[in-house]
Amino acid sequence: MRAAVVIGCAQVLALWPGTSRSLVTILAALAVGYSVGAAIEFSFLLGLLTLGAATAFDLLRHGKELFDAYGYLNPLIGFLFAFVSAVIAIRWMVTYLRRHGLEIFGWYRLVIAAVVLVLLITNAV
């Protein structure tokens, strides 16, 4: 229970623009002693619940407009394809991270930070 509270509180950092909710969750889980595999699974399951709840809430608020504009079949087909592609992507990501670790994401963030810094210094943005 303590680990779940710590991980949940760490997600507040994801409110900072550009911060990855899943990476914050994974790093917090690793910090409280979870294995890489368990941290990844926890993060993706938490994301599934969070995004699922947000989608359900939005559907309750705007579902009538969606179904009036597109009918029932098109959104259902879209949901099915999105679900299948998400399962494939998550399985690939979990397998990749178990074999290779998180280093690539650290380097990726540093490269992006350097590019943004250069763009800011040169007034390109």
Number of compact structural domains in the chain: 1
Q: In the predicted model, is pLDDT for residue 50 greater than 90? A: no
Query: Does the pLDDT of residue 77 top 90, yes or no?
Result: yes
Q: What is the mean pLDDT of the chain?
A: 89
Residues with Cβ within 8 Å of residue 44, at least 6 apart in sequence: 22, 90, 93, 94
Q: Is residue 85 pLDDT above 90, yes or no?
A: yes
- When pLDDT is averaged across residues 72-99 and rounded to a whole number, the result is 89
123 confidence band (pLDDT: 50, 70, 90)? very high
Task: Identify the residue with better confidence: 80 or 48.
Answer: 80
Answer yes or no: is pLDDT of 118 > 90: yes
d(CA 121, CA 125) in angstroms, rounded, equals: 9
CA geometry: angle 111, 113, 117, nearest 5 deg? 120
**Cβ pair 47, 21 in contact under 8 A:** yes
Dihedral over alpha carbons 34, 36, 40, 46 (to 10 degrees): 10
Residue numbers of the domain that contains 107: 2-121
What is the model's pLDDT at position 29? 94
- Which tens digits make up the pLDDT trace of 22-35? 889 999 999 999 98
Rounded Cα–Cα distance for residues 115 and 119 (Å):
6
Dig out the tokens for 28 from the structure.
């917090």
